[in-house]
């Protein structure tokens, strides 16, 4: 994993109400040697404010939050920061809920009792997001190229001729 470490710090939004869990997550990321900065919130408005004021590379969220939920956090992230991968980090997320969350756009889920998986999950989610952005750029460039070619061929019909087998126009 040391070869996969980014050169710049990973900007993390942590949606976690439990200070001890937040500290354990932070400790696990430090242990893995990840360079990162973290902003922590645990409310709807706090998440809205954080997403409005900063760009994040990844969003980590608990599933159960007082007055808020991981499901609502996932919806909010999808609306306000769709390019940022969303990872559930929860002790209460059942397998069924995790599968449903993945279908709705979460990139991964990590059970709090297995936090050693978190650094790899973060790096994988960030790499996948970068690949998606690159693919979108390539697709956009390809569409532009096709459009330019179509404009050229449509604008110059007199210079393009078709010959049949007998060399007649």
Judge whether 61 lies within some domain: yes
Judge whether 117 lies within some domain: yes
pLDDT digits (tens, 9 = 90+) for 53-105: 999 999 999 998 999 999 999 999 999 999 999 999 998 777 788 888 889 99
* Burial of residue 70, with CB atoms counted within 10 A of its CB: 0-12 exposed, 13-18 middle, 19 or more buried: buried
Roughly what angle, to the nearest 10 degrees, separates helices 70-80 and 95-103?
Answer: 10
CATH number, domain of 54, equals 3.40.50.2300
- H-helix segments, 32-165: 44-53, 70-80, 95-103, 118-155
pTM of the full structure: 0.81
The two structure tokens encoding residue 91: 């002790």
Judge whether 157 lies within some domain: no
Judge whether 74 lies within some domain: yes
Q: What is the count of structural domains for the chain?
A: 1
Judge whether 112 lies within some domain: yes
Judge whether 161 lies within some domain: no
């Amino acid at each position: 994993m040391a070869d996969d470490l980014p050169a710049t710090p990973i900007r993390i939004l942590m949606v976690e109400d439990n200070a001890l869990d937040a500290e354990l997550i932070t400790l696990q990321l430090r242990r893995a040697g990840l360079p990162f900065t973290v902003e922590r919130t645990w409310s709807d408005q706090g998440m809205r404010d954080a997403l409005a004021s900063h760009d994040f590379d990844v969003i980590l969220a608990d599933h159960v939050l007082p007055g808020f939920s991981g499901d609502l956090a996932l919806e909010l992230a999808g609306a306000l920061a769709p390019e940022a991968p969303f990872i559930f980090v929860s002790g209460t997320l059942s397998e069924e809920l995790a599968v449903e969350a993945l279908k709705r756009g979460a990139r991964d889920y990590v059970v709090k009792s297995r936090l050693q998986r978190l650094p790899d999950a973060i790096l994988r989610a960030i790499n996948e997001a970068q690949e998606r952005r690159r693919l979108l750029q390539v697709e956009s460039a390809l569409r532009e190229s096709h459009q330019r070619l179509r404009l050229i061929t449509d604008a110059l019909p007199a210079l393009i001729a078709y010959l049949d087998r007998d060399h007649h126009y």
